[in-house]
Amino acid sequence: MRFQDSDLLDSGFHASTDMHALWADLRENQPLYRAEPGGGREPFWVVTRHEDVSRVLRSHGEFSSRRGTILCVLDLDTPDIASDNMMADTDPPRHREFREPLNKAFAPPVVATQEKLLRDLSRDLIQSALDADVYDIAHKTMMFPMAVTGTLMGLPPESWERLVELVMMTIAYDDPDYSTGNAQATVRQARHELFEYFQKEYAQRTREDVDPDVIGAMLAMDLSEGPMSQEQVLLNAFVLLIGANVTTPHALCTLMTVMAEHPEQFQAVRENPELRASCLQELLRWSSPVTALMRYAVKDVELHGQTIRAGEPVSAWIGAANRDERVFADPYTFDVTRRPNKHLAFGLGPHYCIGANLAKVGLEIFLDEILDRVETVEIAGEVRHVASHFVPGYKSMPVRFTPRKTEAR
């Protein structure tokens, strides 16, 4: 497939192009590809095979997260102010100082306390579509994880709508529906407003009387140098909010697509509950909610006959790895019975998604509810994707739900 290196950083290109065709070509012919986007932007390496993506994500001794983990046209060749102060931008052992206390905030017992909220949100979303002839489900799926994240972080519900908008401005800064000018101005405004918001949340809490929520957990954390600073709390609240709210909506919309395209498979899942676990794993592989993650070479690394020099940026394309023919038989077929399923939707290694358990429980509950209440799903209008090279999300998905008959339920 023909493309310009700059296309890899072009959000509009990602939104309008079959990236799987591009990735398949790279996997087969140039598994380690050096992209030179031009325009004063630093060259970066591209890996697309499952084995190579796994190595880049897992081997922190070769590939570091300290200079940033998002392939962003604004930050690729600039110092990262969050290095060693934000969980995402750390390597072990520093990474464990941030992660282990926060793991408790997302542990299964804590997630279990949110089951009623997740079920109520699922039923509300589904009922909204059932009550309408055609319903654009995309925005509602964005609010689904925000309600859970906002509850866990102790954020007031009246702020959730604006927080979702700011998250989208951060990761889809070129999208005309979210941009406030050029990319740099959009990201700057979103970050400024988010940090100002979390600064007010921080000021409302004290270390002596912390709330039992995620921000409270950070206030109670001790790092090697002492208690978490205000800057560290703000940085980590920021990254947790972004991570929680950009992936689940895409997986939910993808579920609508595959239910519409493969009704017989979901009828099989409805009739055979033992298939639900493998169905969810296949949904995660198929949707690959995060397109790519960044690392920087710690030392010279030999790969596919080429040398990645120390300090050079390396992009690991998760969406490409999840269609690798070397790992997945018939990878372009959605198969609810697929086992094993070694997808990388939640990453791998030290930075495996801290909210993976919460996301999986939410998707499991939503799948239960939609199979119970909806007979068929139809895509009933033009589907529009978010312009972003970080997430392959949806901003418009009109659907028509056919309800199940009462006696069938």
How does pLDDT run across 288-310, given as a tens digit for each residue?
Answer: 999 999 999 999 999 999 999 99
Q: Indicate whether 156 belongs to any domain.
A: yes
Indicate the pLDDT class of residue 78, thresholds 50, 70 and 90.
Answer: low
> How many degrees, rounded to 5, is the angle at CA 360 between CA 285 and CA 54?
40
Task: Tell me what pLDDT residue 76 has.
Answer: 46
Number of independent structural domains in the chain: 1
* CA 81 from centroid of its chain's CA atoms: 22
What is the pLDDT averaged over residues 214-232? 91
With cut-offs at 50, 70 and 90, classify the pLDDT of residue 408: very low
> Residue holding tokens 């951060």?
170
What are 248's two structure tokens?
A: 């689940």
What is the pLDDT, as a whole number, of residue 220? 86
Confidence (pLDDT) at 79: 57
Domain membership flag for residue 349? yes
The amino acid occupying position 331 is P
Q: What is the pLDDT of residues 165-203, one digit of tens each?
A: 999 999 899 899 999 888 889 989 999 999 999 999 998
pLDDT at residue 75 is higher than 70 = no
Q: Which residue has the tokens 């009933």?
A: 380
Confidence of residue 263 (pLDDT cuts 50, 70, 90): very high
Separation CA 403–CA 48 (nearest Å): 41
Cβ neighbours of residue 39 closer than 8 Å, sequence gap 6 or more: 6
Q: Are the C-beta atoms of 198 and 167 separated by less than 8 Å?
A: no
CA–CA distance from 124 to each of 11, 127, 248, 366 (Å)?
Answer: 32, 5, 16, 11
Range in 80-94, 133-147, 319-333 the model is least confident about = 80-94
E strand map for 70-221 = 135-136
Look over the chain and give the mean of its residue pLDDT values, rounded to a whole number: 92
Residue 409 is assigned to a structural domain of this protein: no
pLDDT score, position 209: 62
Closest Cα partner for 16 from 175, 137, 135?
175
Distances (CA, A) of 379 to 137, 246, 274: 10, 22, 27
pLDDT at 41 over 80: yes
Q: Looking at the predicted structure, is the pLDDT value of residue 407 above 50?
A: no
Element (H, E) at 203: helix 183-203
pLDDT digits (tens, 9 = 90+) for 102-122: 888 888 888 899 999 999 999
d(CA 246, CA 390) in angstroms, rounded, equals: 9
**Coil, strand or helix at 280:** helix
Q: Which residue has the higher pLDDT, 267 or 38?
A: 267
CA distances from 75 to 6, 18, 81, 250, 404 (A): 15, 26, 10, 24, 49
Which residue do the tokens 């972003």 mark? 388
Residue 45: predicted pLDDT:
97
CATH number for 104:
1.10.630.10
Please state the rounded mean pLDDT for residues 332-339: 98
Query: Which residue reads 């498979």 in tokens?
Result: 265
132: in domain: yes
> Structural domain of residue 9, as residue ranges?
5-403
Residue 384: inside a domain, yes or no? yes
Q: Tell me, yes or no, whether 324 lies in a domain.
A: yes
**Does 74 have pLDDT greater than 50?**
no
* Residue at 27 is within a domain: yes
Of the candidates 42, 36, 57, which has an alpha carbon nearest to the alpha carbon of residue 295? 57
Residue 408 inside a domain? The answer is: no
Tell whether the model's pLDDT for residue 409 goes beyond 50: no
Radius of gyration of the chain (CA): 21
